[in-house]
Structure 1
């Protein structure tokens, strides 16, 4: 016999919905066997600014490498970091 699913309540705002899902199991509300993978190709990942101290000579080398690739040095640092971290 299939499991009877609960009705998802209406939420007044995102905060209320977030609180609800933090304390409830989605399996009680959705048939997860029918779930499909979706892609959001235009969704930009969240970012945060950081402060990073580098020796002046290293920063100059990074700027030279970025200039050769015609990209901003901050973007080059992010690309290198992504390659190393995965």
Structure 2
């Protein structure tokens, strides 16, 4: 018995819009499957894309900041970057601890 064949879906052309707001409203209501053949999609790398950051003011004891700068210098990284690494590691550990406790 022959396999049933799928009917090829016709892809609608993506309309042009007068503004970003109009385009957002369109895509909020439309299904992208009607306009794009996702089976032909390719992964894209965006190496220059950086996560958004927020500047904060943080008061540290002088000795703690000095120790952080010494460690950062030993690792040849900016001390702010090292502080972000330390915070990220601690946040991951705390999240893991909470999951195990749940």
TM-score (norm 2): 0.60
Pairwise CA RMSD of aligned residues? Answer: 2.4
The 5 Å alignment of 1:7-26 reads 7-26=13-32
**Structure-2 change in CA distance of 1:24 and 1:52 (3 Å):** farther
Matched, 1:62 2:68: yes
Deviation of the 1:15 alpha carbon: 3.9
Match of 1:80 among 86, 92, 95: 86
User: SS at 1:4's partner residue?
Assistant: coil
State the structure with more CA Rg: 2
Alpha-carbon distance between aligned partners in 2 of 1:10 and 1:61, rounded to the nearest angstrom: 57
User: SS at 1:78's partner residue?
Assistant: helix
Match of 1:71 among 74, 77, 80: 77
Q: Which runs of 5+ in 2 are unaligned?
A: 1-6, 93-102
**Structure-2 change in CA distance of 1:59 and 1:21 (3 Å):** farther
Deviation of the 1:75 alpha carbon: 1.2
- The match for 2:98 is none
4+ aligned runs moved over 6 Å, structure 1? none
TM-score (norm 1): 0.68
Deviation of the 1:27 alpha carbon: 0.9
More displaced stretch, 43-52 vs 29-38: 43-52
